[in-house]
Amino acid sequence: MLELVAQGLESAQRWRKPLEPGTRYLIGRDPLSALSIPWDTQISRRHVQVDVHQDHVQLSRDESARNPLFFAGETVGTCRVEVGQHFVIGSTTFHVTQPETEVGSVAPPFEEVAFKPAELRKIRYQDPENRIEVLTHLPEVISGARDDNELFSRLANLLLKGVVHAEAVAIVTTSGTEEVQMLHWDRRHETAGPFRPSRRLVTEALERRQSSVLHIWEKDAPQPHDKTLMQEFDWAYCTPVPGLSMETAGLYVAGRMGKTFIPGTTLSDALQLEADVKFTELVAEIISSVVRAKRLERQKAGLRQFFAPPILAALGVELDTTLLEPSECDVTVMFCDLRGFSQRLENEAGDLIGLLERVSRALGVMTHHILENGGVTGDFQGDATLGFWGWPFPSPDAAVNACRAALGIRAAFAKAAATKNHPLADFEMGIGIAHGRAVAGKIGTAEQVKVTVFGPVVNLASRLESMTKQLRVPILLDETTSNIVRPRLNPSEGRIRRLALVLPYGMETPVTVSELLPPVSDLPELTDAHIQSYESGVQCFISGQWDEAYRHLHSMPPSDRAQDFLMQQIVLNNRTAPRTWDGIVRLPNK
């Protein structure tokens, strides 16, 4: 096994990566590259191909690379680099090394100390200024890391600054076996070469005690003939860091007694080591807290596309997802669809990416207003969005909030249509809203789940959305939603007018449908008097007084398209209701 060490101009610009024999790697700025160098602008996205052999690597410069590859002081296109040699690209130097393995088992420590938090609190520092200075940079070190490799590199560098007499540090992990993996390691002096931590110490700290453990080896103890850890270091300690990686992980620090202790201090070697362990435990505690917070934030970020802030707050800091289990409840469901998407898809087949971006933006408008009004986004079906209210907490305002969201979506699309060259200017939408009993929550299979809602009310909302085309209005409500919202929605927010009693295609129960309208301030051409006259006309239409219905409907402004639906029924029958008339308009198709 070989290792490749990359070092940029700054100390933080550094990583170590294992190289598997028989494997081909790529060095470049591409973040997907196995050997990515994000800090060096002189390195191309694909710069050098690395073929790994047992005792060397073979390099080949990519044809697309802008800058040269240097080896042994010369520009080369290809070269063979052996262990101990290095090459340069841009401002980054690459060393090929071979990690030394620990031969045999390290002798038992002369002294082993397991620390308890209460004991460490009594320890004092004699270099508090340096420790505090290092700790002030710790949150920045963690939050600024783009990936785990950069995080581990930054932590190793920070520990060397905080534990000033340590000679080596490592981020170690173990999965319950004797094998110890170093996620990253570093030395105060690069020329000192790699090292291997004590398996005995790491296992004791991370697996058995799950607390900081210090090992001190007797200075004059006989050494095995093979080079081992003890020839370089006579002390080391390991501190667990919960949550740092998927496996059990810890900070490993090693050095030699009295070698580089702080000038002017009076602490004994043992007390100085205890102070170092105290500092490292503080670092580990901060790391765990910040990493846990970042992980929760990532989880919440994933949930924000589905849930409004109040629901996320109710889930708590630990994200108690038991609230998301399926349950039967009363919900208000909104189904929002883009008009003419299939035709647009055919017309814009040459720019599908551009069309997708515009559709995504339109879906974003819908999602924004659903979440802003306390709803849950349940599903995306091509060019349509499903939202619902009343889960995971029942709310008397569910139907009203759904209507507020629908009016917000309508206003956003109307504003886009009135704006020249707006990406959504040529989009129209239809919205259906229904209220009823359903099952909501995490629904799906063992392999895939999603948060959504299931039940007849969902089908009804979808049917209402489809009917907006036939009734020529943007937003339709079922009778239950209308009855809930009509007395509670402030006229300054929106208005409701009954449109007709219809039997949707394929259904057995007729539905009284109503239109949700903007307030007079946003739609002044349709006054409250118009709405009152229209509803009188609807009542006359249902009761069979079609002459009177015609008079009321005919008084609507020409811009009002809703009248067209009933007027067509009346005109086709010469303003006379059929003898079998029961007040229901049967829709011939979806």
pLDDT band of residue 105 (cuts 50, 70, 90) is very low
Average pLDDT over residues 112-127: 70
> Nearest Cα to 255, choosing from 180, 186, 182?
186
- For residue 300, is it within any domain? no
The pLDDT assigned to 400 comes to 97
143 versus 496: the higher-pLDDT residue is: 496
Phi/psi at 347 (5° precision): -70, -30
Same domain for 76 and 156, yes or no, is: no
Q: Structural domain of residue 315, as residue ranges?
A: 309-489
Q: What CA–CA distances, in Å, run from 548 to 127, 204, 243, 326, 512?
A: 94, 92, 74, 50, 20
- For residue 509, is it within any domain? no
The pLDDT assigned to 161 comes to 86
Q: pTM score, two decimals? A: 0.55
SS (H, E, C) 420-475: CCCCCCCCCEEEEEEEEEEEEEEEECCCCEEEEEECHHHHHHHHHHHHHHHHCCCE
CA 123, chain centre distance (Å)? 41
Given a contact cutoff of 8 angstroms between Cβ atoms, the answer to whether 479 and 463 are in contact is: no
Indicate the DSSP class of residue 183.
Answer: E
Instruction: Kindly tell me if the per-residue pLDDT of 160 is higher than 50.
Output: yes
Last residue of a domain, one of 97, 125, 141: 97
Last residue of a domain, one of 269, 294, 319: 294
pLDDT band of residue 562 (cuts 50, 70, 90) is very high
Lowest-confidence pick of 107-116, 163-172, 360-369: 107-116
Enumerate the H helices of 305-324 as residue ranges.
309-315
| Residue 328, beta-bridge partner list | 439
Given a contact cutoff of 8 angstroms between Cβ atoms, the answer to whether 154 and 145 are in contact is: yes
Supply the DSSP string of 184-212, one letter for each residue: EEEESSGGG------HHHHHIIIIII-S-
Query: Count H helices, E strands: the chain?
Result: 15, 26
Question: Tens of pLDDT along 318-355?
Answer: 666 677 788 899 999 999 998 755 555 556 666 667 66
The pLDDT assigned to 223 comes to 45
Q: What CA–CA distances, in Å, run from 540 to 154, 232, 309, 465?
A: 78, 99, 46, 26
Q: Which helix (H) or strand (E) holds 214?
A: strand 213-216
Please provide the average confidence, as pLDDT, over all residues in the chain: 82
Average pLDDT over residues 550-569: 92
Structural tokens at position 475: 């937003």
Q: Which helix (H) or strand (E) holds 344?
A: helix 341-347
- For residue 200, is it within any domain? yes
CA 201, chain centre distance (Å)? 37
Same domain for 38 and 179, yes or no, is: no
The pLDDT assigned to 324 comes to 77
The pLDDT assigned to 455 comes to 93
133 versus 557: the higher-pLDDT residue is: 557
- Residue 264 region, left (φ>0) first, then alpha (ψ -120 to 50), else beta? left
Question: Tens of pLDDT along 481-494?
Answer: 999 999 999 999 99
Average pLDDT over residues 518-534: 95
Instruction: Kindly tell me if the per-residue pLDDT of 307 is higher than 70.
Output: no
- Residue 575 region, left (φ>0) first, then alpha (ψ -120 to 50), else beta? left
| Highest-confidence segment of 40-49, 212-221, 263-272 | 40-49
Instruction: Kindly tell me if the per-residue pLDDT of 177 is higher than 80.
Output: no
Same domain for 450 and 348, yes or no, is: yes
Lowest-confidence pick of 21-25, 265-269, 380-384, 562-566: 265-269
Instruction: Kindly tell me if the per-residue pLDDT of 148 is higher than 80.
Output: no
Residues 6+ apart with CB under 8 A from 308: 371, 372, 373, 374, 375, 376
Residue 153, number of CB atoms within 10 A of its CB: 24
Same domain for 221 and 367, yes or no, is: no
73 versus 290: the higher-pLDDT residue is: 73
- Give the strands of the sheet with 168-174, arranged side by side: 111-114, 213-216, 235-240, 248-255, 168-174, 181-187
The pLDDT assigned to 306 comes to 64
Average pLDDT over residues 270-294: 79
Q: How many CA atoms lie within 13 A of 84 on its CB side?
A: 1
How far is the C-alpha of 363 from the C-alpha of 368, rounded, in Å? 9
pLDDT band of residue 550 (cuts 50, 70, 90) is very high
Given a contact cutoff of 8 angstroms between Cβ atoms, the answer to whether 544 and 583 are in contact is: yes
Instruction: Give Dmax over CA atoms of the chain in angstroms.
Output: 115
Same domain for 315 and 346, yes or no, is: yes
Same domain for 85 and 119, yes or no, is: no
Question: Tens of pLDDT along 211-227?
Answer: 888 888 765 544 443 33
pLDDT band of residue 269 (cuts 50, 70, 90) is low
CATH code at position 485: 3.30.70.1230
Average pLDDT over residues 37-41: 90
Given a contact cutoff of 8 angstroms between Cβ atoms, the answer to whether 34 and 147 are in contact is: no
Given a contact cutoff of 8 angstroms between Cβ atoms, the answer to whether 393 and 366 are in contact is: no
- For residue 553, is it within any domain? yes
Question: Tens of pLDDT along 75-86?
Answer: 999 999 998 788
Measured distance between the N- and C-terminal CA atoms of the chain, rounded to whole angstroms: 66
Supply the DSSP string of 20-76, one letter for each residue: -TT-EEEEES-TTSTEE-TT-TTS-SS-EEEEE-SSEEEEEE-TT--S-EEETTEEE
Structural domains counted in the chain: 4
- For residue 304, is it within any domain? no
pLDDT band of residue 310 (cuts 50, 70, 90) is low
Lowest-confidence pick of 25-29, 125-129, 134-138, 362-366: 125-129
Average pLDDT over residues 406-426: 89
Same domain for 265 and 407, yes or no, is: no
Last residue of a domain, one of 260, 294, 328: 294
Same domain for 317 and 211, yes or no, is: no
- For residue 80, is it within any domain? yes
Same domain for 144 and 249, yes or no, is: yes
Structural tokens at position 341: 């998407």
The pLDDT assigned to 230 comes to 45
- For residue 49, is it within any domain? yes
Percent of residues, the chain, with pLDDT higher than 90 = 39
CATH code at position 40: 2.60.200.20
pLDDT band of residue 175 (cuts 50, 70, 90) is low
Residue 246, number of CB atoms within 10 A of its CB: 9
Same domain for 92 and 125, yes or no, is: no
Peptide bond into 392 cis (omega under 30): yes
pLDDT band of residue 129 (cuts 50, 70, 90) is confident
Q: Which helix (H) or strand (E) holds 3?
A: strand 2-7
Average pLDDT over residues 238-257: 82
- For residue 55, is it within any domain? yes
How far is the C-alpha of 447 from the C-alpha of 452, rounded, in Å? 16
Same domain for 473 and 527, yes or no, is: no
pLDDT band of residue 104 (cuts 50, 70, 90) is very low
Residue 405, number of CB atoms within 10 A of its CB: 27
CATH code at position 274: 3.30.450.40
How far is the C-alpha of 168 from the C-alpha of 252, rounded, in Å? 8
pLDDT band of residue 10 (cuts 50, 70, 90) is confident
Structural tokens at position 26: 């790529």
Same domain for 560 and 445, yes or no, is: no
Given a contact cutoff of 8 angstroms between Cβ atoms, the answer to whether 197 and 239 are in contact is: no
pLDDT band of residue 245 (cuts 50, 70, 90) is low
Question: Tens of pLDDT along 565-581?
Answer: 999 989 988 999 999 99
